[in-house]
């Protein structure tokens, strides 16, 4: 007996809603033949990954395509490439065994 796409979608949306790592209001779920497409936005990669995990936990899901875009909050400063490179060089200098 196959599970309807409406039931799969409802179960995924419910799972996203109860997961405190995910803002379900910013994620759209599409279902076709047990294949799931997640779209929307998340504040970090952990939330994006958690949404996939939530979808996979639902009976009837055969594949998950996670197209959620990570959009960091404006209050978070993302380091530049130069800052990242400097931090890596500093760590390598401090840890001579590497």
d(CA 58, CA 54): 7
pLDDT for the residue 1: 62
- Residue 9 belongs to domain with CATH number: 3.30.1340.30
CA within 13 Å, CB half, 45: 0
Can you give the residue range of the structural domain that contains 16? 5-94
How many structural domains comprise the chain?
A: 1
Question: pLDDT by residue (tens digit) across 64-98?
Answer: 999 999 998 787 787 899 999 999 999 888 887 65
pLDDT for the residue 72: 81
d(CA 11, CA 30): 12
Question: pLDDT by residue (tens digit) across 1-58?
Answer: 678 999 999 999 999 999 999 999 999 999 998 899 999 999 999 999 999 999 999 9
d(CA 5, CA 78): 39
d(CA 67, CA 35): 13
pLDDT for the residue 49: 96
Tokens of 62: 């055969």
């Amino acid at each position: 007996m196959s599970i309807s796409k409406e039931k799969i979608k409802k179960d995924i949306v419910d799972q996203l809603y109860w997961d405190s790592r995910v803002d379900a209001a910013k994620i759209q779920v599409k279902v076709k033949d047990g294949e799931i497409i997640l779209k929307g936005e998340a504040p970090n990669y952990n939330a994006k990954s958690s949404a996939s995990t939530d979808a996979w936990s639902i009976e009837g899901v055969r594949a998950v395509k996670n197209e959620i875009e990570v959009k960091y909050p404006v209050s978070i400063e993302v380091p530049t490439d130069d800052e990242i490179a400097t931090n890596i060089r500093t760590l390598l200098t401090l840890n001579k065994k590497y």
